[in-house]
Amino acid sequence: MDARVQLVYFVIVATIVAIMSSIIPIDLSAFATNPSYLTQYLPTNVSTPTVINLFAYNDEFVNVLGANATARQLYNLDTQLFHEAGIYNKQTNKLYVTSNWAFDLANPINITIIDLDPAANYSYTTTRYSALAEPNGGTSYFPPGSSNSSTPPRHLYADEGDFINPSALVSVDPVTGHSEKILTNYLGRNFSSINDVRQHEGTGDIWFTDADYGYYQYFRPAPTIPKQVYRFTPSTGQISVVADGFVQSNGIEFSPDFKTLYISDTGAAGGPFLGVNLTRPSTIYAYDVINSKHLANRRVFAYSDNGFPDGIHTDTQGNVWAGCGDGIHVWDKEGTLLGKIWNGVETNNFAFLPGKLLIFSNAQLWIVEGLKAVGREVCKDFGVC
Ligand SMILES: *[C@@H]1O[C@H](CO)[C@@H](O)[C@H](O)[C@H]1NC(C)=O
Ligand SMILES: *[C@@H]1O[C@H](CO)[C@@H](O)[C@H](O)[C@H]1NC(C)=O
Ligand SMILES: *[C@@H]1O[C@H](CO)[C@@H](O)[C@H](O)[C@H]1NC(C)=O
Ligand SMILES: *[C@@H]1O[C@H](CO)[C@@H](O)[C@H](O)[C@H]1NC(C)=O
Ligand SMILES: *[C@@H]1O[C@H](CO)[C@@H](O)[C@H](O)[C@H]1NC(C)=O
Ligand SMILES: *[C@@H]1O[C@H](CO)[C@@H](O)[C@H](O)[C@H]1NC(C)=O
Ligand SMILES: *[C@@H]1O[C@H](CO)[C@@H](O)[C@H](O)[C@H]1NC(C)=O
């Protein structure tokens, strides 16, 4: 191209890069006495959101994202294909996401499979696995006797169940599509709707949360058990309740050293049945993990100022990331809010990929590229650290 066209091209590219990559510092001293402080940075029309901002509530945020991080929207659909789970698999080079409940028992929750091959341009397909009814959260799963060095991981879904199928933990082989239930009850009692799940690296135990959202969204019978958090040992079938006292136990995630467990209470969100009640929790609690088996020292880790902290993931530095009402909020391990990846819409979950983050806002899918932070699970499961 000639020099003038090249210059115009350069200016356009530089402008786009600047718009996408600039991390906006939030002046907390100004914010402290001006509740409308943030509006100066928000798009005036968020009815069809396409704007994504990186807000630094703390100088450390740029070190977490990396100075080159950029964010953009990949999809804005009229169906809600991107909701929860988000299980990265290095072998298939795909990401597995659950769609949102469509309020139609005849049209159950699908798995959206996003192709991560650069040539595929994030194209996706949808599928269902036979043993799954209404899957929500999920994680990589190493069955008893396997580890990341011997076998590629399977997937483990938190299946909320429906009026026929009880809520369950379901293992899926992402290569063959074979699926099987590994837990369907608590010693003969039904779960309400299992919401999210993680595997402890040292013991192989499965830790998971149970909530009422299947009932609140009219696809499960009335709950018959409290909102609790469980530990299940797949090799022996042993199951224990490890925490209770939640309005709605929801997101669950370990610190990278497995010494801390984070559990969110999304009690503020009551679904269409109860509606939103902002006086109830939108809170992440932290616990000490004792002897890899028990929980102690429950404390408030963080309270989300917008929406409710749904899916939680940690990075290898121990920062805690959660999908909230206006995007992703990131806290350091002390619970200090470092920043937000702000898109203005309810964001239920997200997934770390090597150097990237995919963000699930139901009808919308967003991406952060050039990301410095490394997901705990990507590192543990695939050695991509
Ligand atoms: C916001 O955007 C939507 C969709 O593009 C449009 O229909 C609506 O008129 C816009 N509202 C305002 C206040 O500009
Ligand atoms: C950021 O991008 C610049 C220019 O492409 C490159 O030189 C630099 O190494 C990158 N930094 C990081 C931390 O990736
Ligand atoms: C599931 O996938 C099928 C086939 O692609 C589609 O017809 C259906 O609408 C999808 N359901 C949901 C809830 O996304
Ligand atoms: C990638 O997909 C988007 C829409 O999803 C499209 O706008 C874009 O042109 C595609 N890019 C390439 C290189 O195919
Ligand atoms: C558990 O749920 C299943 C399926 O919804 C139902 O058939 C069964 O009766 C329930 N069991 C108990 C003990 O409530
Ligand atoms: C909101 O939740 C609080 C605490 O559970 C309860 O006391 C109050 O009645 C609820 N408000 C509404 C409007 O439901
Ligand atoms: C398994 O994970 C460890 C880190 O926990 C990593 O060092 C190793 O390379 C991984 N192995 C494979 C085959 O991914």
- Confidence label for 47 from pLDDT (cuts 50, 70 and 90): low
The number of the ligand 6 atom at minimal distance from the alpha carbon of 277 is: 1
Question: Which residue out of 93, 146, 148 has the highest number of ligand 7 atoms within 8 Å of its CB and is therefore the one to mutate?
Answer: 148
Distance CA 290, CA 287 (A): 9
Q: Which of 17, 21, 68, 372 to mutate to test the pocket of ligand 2 (most atoms within 8 A of CB)?
A: 68
Rounded average pLDDT over 241-261: 98
Q: What is the mean pLDDT of residues 67-73?
A: 93
Confidence grade of residue 79 (pLDDT, cut at 50, 70, 90): very high
Instruction: Kindly tell me if the per-residue pLDDT of 11 is higher than 60.
Output: no
pLDDT for the residue 50: 82
Which among 190, 194, 210, 220 is the best mutation to test ligand 5's pocket, defined by most ligand atoms within 8 Å of the CB? 190
Q: How confident is the model at residue 8 (pLDDT cuts 50, 70, 90)?
A: very low
Whether residue 373 is predicted with pLDDT greater than 70 in this model: the reply is yes
What pLDDT, on the 0 to 100 scale, is given for residue 209?
Answer: 98
Q: Residue 46: what pLDDT? A: 62
* Helix, strand or coil, per DSSP, at residue 139: strand
Q: What is the mean pLDDT of the chain?
A: 93
CB contact at 8 A, 162 and 105: yes
Q: Find out whether the beta carbon of 280 lies less than 6 Å from any atom of ligand 6.
A: yes
Residue whose CA lies nearest to ligand 7 atom number 5: 380
| CA gap 312, 321 in Å, rounded | 6
Interval 317-333 mean pLDDT:
98
| Rounded Cα distance, 241 and 208, in Å | 10
pLDDT, position 95:
98
Question: 95-141: per-residue pLDDT in tens?
Answer: 999 999 999 999 999 999 999 999 999 999 999 999 999 999 999 99
pLDDT surpasses 50 at 6:
no
Q: Is the pLDDT assigned to residue 93 strictly greater than 50?
A: yes
Q: So what's the pLDDT on residue 149?
A: 65
Residue pointed to by tokens 């090597």: 354
Q: Residue 111's beta-bridge partner residues?
A: 98, 127
User: Using one digit for the tens of pLDDT, what is the confidence trace for 148-159?
Assistant: 666 789 999 999
Contacts of 208 (CB under 8 A, 6+ apart): 158, 169, 194, 195, 196, 197, 198, 229, 230, 232, 252
Q: Whose CA is nearest to atom 5 of ligand 1?
A: 48
pLDDT at 9: 37
* Closest residue CA from atom 9 of ligand 2: 68
Q: Give, for 351, the enclosing helix (H) or strand (E).
A: strand 349-353
In this structure, which residue's CA is closest to atom 10 in ligand 1?
Answer: 45
51: confidence class by pLDDT, cuts 50, 70, 90: confident
pLDDT band with cut points at 50, 70 and 90 for residue 45: low
Distance, CA of 74 to CA of 79 (rounded, Å): 14
User: Which is the closest atom of ligand 5 to the Cα of 161?
Assistant: 5
Q: How far apart are CA 35 and CA 20, in angstroms?
A: 26
Residue type at position 194:
I
Retrieve residue 2's tokens.
């000639």
Q: How far does residue 22's CA lie from ligand 2's centre (Å)?
A: 14
| Both tokens assigned to 297 | 């020292």
For ligand 1, atom 7, which residue shows the shortest CA distance? 47
Strand partners of residue 340: 55, 329
When pLDDT is cut at 50, 70 and 90, the band that residue 16 belongs to is: very low
User: Which residue lies with its CA nearest to atom 1 of ligand 1?
Assistant: 45
Please give all residues whose beta carbon lies within 6 A of any atom in ligand 5, as ranges.
166, 189-190, 224
Rounded Cα–Cα distance for residues 224 and 324 (Å): 28
